[in-house]
Amino acid sequence: MGKKVERPPHGTLYERRFADVQARPTLRELLNTARDEGYLVDYRFDGDGLSVRRRWVEGPTLDAMFQRIPTDDRTRFSAEAFAKLLRQLDALRTAGLEHGAIHPGNVVITRGVQLIDVVSNASRLGSSPEDSRFYPIWMWGPTAPDGRGWGRWDRVSLLRMCTMLALGPDAWHNWWTAEEMIEACQLWVSEARKLFVADAEAAVRMETSLALARRLVEEQQLPVVEPPEDRSRPEDGGARESGSPDGAVPIQVVPIEEIPDDLVPVDIESYDGGDEGVTD
């Protein structure tokens, strides 16, 4: 993991080192683009690894915020997060970049939602994510298949993350098979798109992201780790819920209403927990 550092004249930065990363020309080009677009402040190869620095972003991460959101509001807020983060992914692609590690630890609540660690994450740079909070619960796998198709990887990762956010914290301790996750994503899309009657593009892209995830699972192109027989995360020690085929808390249907411009709940200013500037 990285650390918070002070580096005049840039101010407060987040610094992280990745071991065993070689200075390939294609990687230098990628990092230069990320720096030129403002996603990195600088980077340095030091012989047996890579160090990167980005600006420090203050605020709770998306999963921390969702622990404070009432059950009846989760679908609405997760749908809004999907739309806003999709626009940020579109901006990345316009700049010639993809993210590579879409999970709630890489989304910080500032004046809305903000993606952090663009490119400079373990999935993109060839390392396995160290933090079991995000993989395999939040992510289909540790990295895109064969290190290719990052744009598609970002889209299906965003779909999975928003589905998990809507399901709520009780579902974040369970392992999921690929088929169960696709089923949960389908339920989320069917409810979330009702909130986008006036935003046809967002609704359509929910459906296309679901179709892409389903195809990748059917073609076994996602590096999914299947759960153990006891269906619980080893560090949690709890059993998976029974009584429903996917063992998940049912997604709550909320009335169609105007979605606020700012995703931050009204009491987010008094938020007093969660990690700041977390990465994968």
For 93-105, the pLDDT digits (tens) are 999 999 999 999 9
pLDDT at residue 139 is higher than 60: yes
Q: CA distances (Å), 225 to each of 15, 115, 139, 266, in order?
A: 30, 25, 10, 38
pLDDT tens, position by position, 55-74:
999 999 999 999 989 999 99
169 CB-side CA count, 13 A:
11
Whether 82 shows a pLDDT value over 50: the answer reads: yes
Is residue 53 exposed (0-12), middle (13-18) or buried (19+ Cβ within 10 Å)? Answer: buried
Residue-level pLDDT at 88 = 95
Banded model confidence at residue 111, pLDDT cuts 50, 70, 90: confident
Q: Give yes or no for residue 249 having a pLDDT over 50.
A: no
Return the higher-pLDDT residue of 123 and 90: 90
Task: Give the residues across from 184 on adjacent strands.
Answer: none
Quick one: pLDDT at residue 125? 83
Contact yes or no for 170/133 (Cβ under 8 A): no
pTM > 0.75: yes
**Torsion on CA atoms 188, 208, 139, 270, rounded to nearest 10:** -50
> Taking residues 27-37, what's their average pLDDT?
96
Residue type at 48 in one-letter notation: D
pLDDT value at residue 220: 78
Question: Cα separation of 244 and 249, whole Å?
Answer: 9
pLDDT at 116 over 50: yes
- Beta strand 113-115 with 49-55: parallel, antiparallel or unpaired? unpaired
What does the alpha-carbon distance between residue 280 and residue 277 come to, in Å, rounded to a whole number? Answer: 10
Of 27-41, 93-107, 143-157, 232-246, give the lowest mean pLDDT range.
232-246
Half-sphere exposure of 276 (CA within 13 A, CB side): 14
Q: Determine which of 127-131, 179-183, 228-232, 269-273 has the lowest per-residue pLDDT on average.
A: 269-273
CA 82 – CA 110 distance, rounded (Å): 16
Tell me which amino acid residue 181 is.
M
Cα–Cα distance list, 57 to 53, 106, 164 (Å): 12, 10, 24
For the purposes of burial, counting CB atoms within 10 Å of the CB of 119, is it exposed (0-12), middle (13-18) or buried (19 or more)? Answer: buried
| pLDDT for 244 beyond 60 | no
Stronger pLDDT, 170 or 186, i.e. the higher one? 186
Q: What are the residues facing 54 on neighbouring strands?
A: 14
Residue 19 clears pLDDT 60, i.e. is over it: yes
pLDDT at residue number 248: 32
Measured between alpha carbons, how far is 175 from 130 in angstroms, rounded to an integer?
17
As a whole number, mean pLDDT of residues 66-95 equals 93
Q: To which H or E segment does residue 107 belong?
A: strand 107-109
Rounded to an integer, the average pLDDT of 113-127 is 86
